[in-house]
Amino acid sequence: MNLGQLRRDFESAGLERTALENDPIRQFERWFIEARNSGIEDVNAMVLGTASANGMPSVRTVLLKSFDEQGFSFFTNYGSRKAQELSANPRASLLLPWLALNRQVVIEGSVEKLPRDQSQAYFSSRPRASQLGAWASRQSSVLDSRETLEERLQALEKHYRDEEVPLPDFWGGYLVKPRRLEFWQGRPSRVHDRFEYSLEDGQWHIRRLQP
């Protein structure tokens, strides 16, 4: 299989500095709305990169659940590998690949846990089956069989049959507080447009990067 022949050219309009918002969150919001309106499935899916205390990186796909001037949030099990790495090394990178639009956004910054009340508010909004799933999964730990997980889920369904599912102590949200964002627009012949927002002394600075 000759993977070197798998390529396509990016036929899309360019990205100019004059078209960018001065605030990267507003620029992200504009692109997010355009991506959602384009019909992209799982438009809030993003790759989360973390690293252990000794620098070993790992990645996985999570869902962006909110964003504002404070940062970008997602939720997970606090016992998972990503949570353990964030505890040891509270920095992360996010990648939102809107490839149907020949676009991607990279976000880098420090990470902190969301307040418990925010995790509670989001957990309460989840479907009941997802709430039970959060209790059933000991995320990232070894599982001897699918049947064990199914039995645990059935037991939880029975236990909480007549009551609301509470927020687990081991589950909640994180906030990625950005210090750098990059907006990438694919262009023909791999001569892409890339713009970097970097936070320096409390101010956002915008630079064009070479492709």
Give the DSSP letter of residue 161: T
**Three-class secondary structure of residue 112 per DSSP:** strand
Percent of the chain having pLDDT more than 70?
A: 100
- Provide DSSP, 119-136: HHHHHHHS-HHHHHHHHH
Q: Residue 33: helix, strand or coil by DSSP?
A: helix
199-211 residue pLDDT tens: 999 999 999 999 9
C-alpha 144/C-alpha 45 separation (Å) is 29
Residue in 46, 71, 88 with CA at minimum distance from that of residue 176? 71
* Of 8, 31, 13, 12, the residue nearest 21 (C-alpha): 31
Q: What's this model's pTM, rounded to 2 decimal places?
A: 0.94
Binding-site residue ranges for substrate: 65, 122, 126, 130, 190-192
- One of 26, 128, 190, 208 is an active-site residue; which one? 190
Q: Is 190 a catalytic residue?
A: yes
Annotation: binding site: 60-65, 75-76, 81-82, 104, 122, 126, 130, 139-140, 184, 190-192, 194
| Mean pLDDT calculated for residue range 29-47 | 98
Structural domains in the chain, CATH included, are 9-119+169-209 (2.30.110.10)
Give per-residue pLDDT as tens, 152-204: 999 999 999 999 999 999 999 999 999 999 999 999 999 999 999 999 999 99
The total of other beta-carbon atoms located within 10 Å of residue 73's CB is: 19
Q: Closest by alpha carbon to 103, among 41, 32, 39, 49? A: 32
